[in-house]
Amino acid sequence: MNIKPILIIAGEPYSVFSELLFKIFTKEKFRKPIVIIGSIDLIIKQMKYLKYKIKINRISENYKKSQLIKNALNIINVNFRFKKTFDVISSISKDYNKECFELSIKLLKRKKFSGLINGPISKKHFIKNKYYGITEYFAEKSKIKNFAMLIYNKKLSVSPLTTHVPLKKVSKLISKKKLINHIKLIKTFYKKNFNTNASIIVTGLNPHCESNYKDSEENRIIKPAINSLKKNYSKISGPHAADSAFIKNNLKGVDVVVGMYHDQVLGPIKSIHNFDAINITLGLPFFRISPDHGPNNKMIGKNKSNPQSLYESIKFLDNQ
């Protein structure tokens, strides 16, 4: 059996990600080896500070499979000099993240990994003025135009049609074609990975799916897209008013709620699942997963952060 390792980018030095990683490796065992891109020196400092003892196996980017050790941190070193154990977000961390992410793209092209998990980063510094978010970063680097963000939980998932964009731009960025392609990606993902015909409900853009003008986005874009999809797909309905879409009775039998913008669906799903969800980018030539949390700077060094989302991210790829 050809078991492909899981690739993880260590992410922002000034974050709780290393703590979460240490907690998981102390308690859990996985079928597949883990390969981490990051600074060995920084990871060792953080491990000592947080009082964890985990085996570290230094490898090169051209490692042989026989060199990997299961249940150890197999690390491809990205050499940066950090002054502190949890170095603050700065030009140094920006350059560090850039090198880590670029190396991940290089390695993923070799198609030797089950997928990629990236630790949280400061989008404000790393992708300032160039990408809306890491989702768009990987899509461009992979030369993919049709992609989607899925916040996945086996009980209920959500997917915003637009991602990390200002609210004032949302109405200009939604279209019939975009919504059709978006839902097709979700249907394909569920069919391919779970052999399931996903049940999808779609929210409107305006409150109560109403507006004070006739040419509303519901009438002009959302309803025509859903009607077009129904010619070839079942279990799609909408538009539903977003303020009541997440009422318990309205979610019976529903796999995915597709919303028009980020906070319309991510706020409710985080209230429902807390940290028990993962961010999967659909449409890429590889699995890209991000735990559903940020750097969480206020909790750095306290050893109290919840590793559930990172655990679910690794578990998902470990089962592929």
Q: Which domains does the chain have, with CATH numbers?
A: 1-144+284-320 (3.40.718.10), 147-281 (3.40.718.10)
pLDDT category, 139, cuts 50, 70, 90?
A: very high
pLDDT in tens, 298-309: 777 788 888 899
User: Which residues does residue 240 pair with via DSSP β-bridges, in sequence order?
Assistant: 203
Residues 318, 31 contacting (CB under 8 angstroms):
yes
Q: Which of 133-137, 253-257, 314-318 has the lowest mean pLDDT?
A: 133-137
Residue range 76-80: mean pLDDT, rounded: 93
pLDDT in tens, 39-52: 999 999 999 999 99
Q: How many CA atoms lie within 13 A of 239 on its CB side?
A: 25
pLDDT category, 94, cuts 50, 70, 90?
A: confident
Report the C-alpha gap between 274 and 19 in whole angstroms. 18
30 pLDDT exceeds 80? yes
pLDDT in tens, 153-192: 999 999 999 998 899 999 999 999 999 999 999 999 999 9
pLDDT at 82: 80
- Give the number of other CB atoms < 10 A from CB of residue 109: 12
Report which of residues 58 and 130 the model is more confident about: 58
pLDDT category, 1, cuts 50, 70, 90?
A: low
pLDDT at 111: 92
60 pLDDT exceeds 70? yes
pLDDT category, 89, cuts 50, 70, 90?
A: low
- 7-16, 198-207, 283-292: range with highest mean pLDDT: 198-207
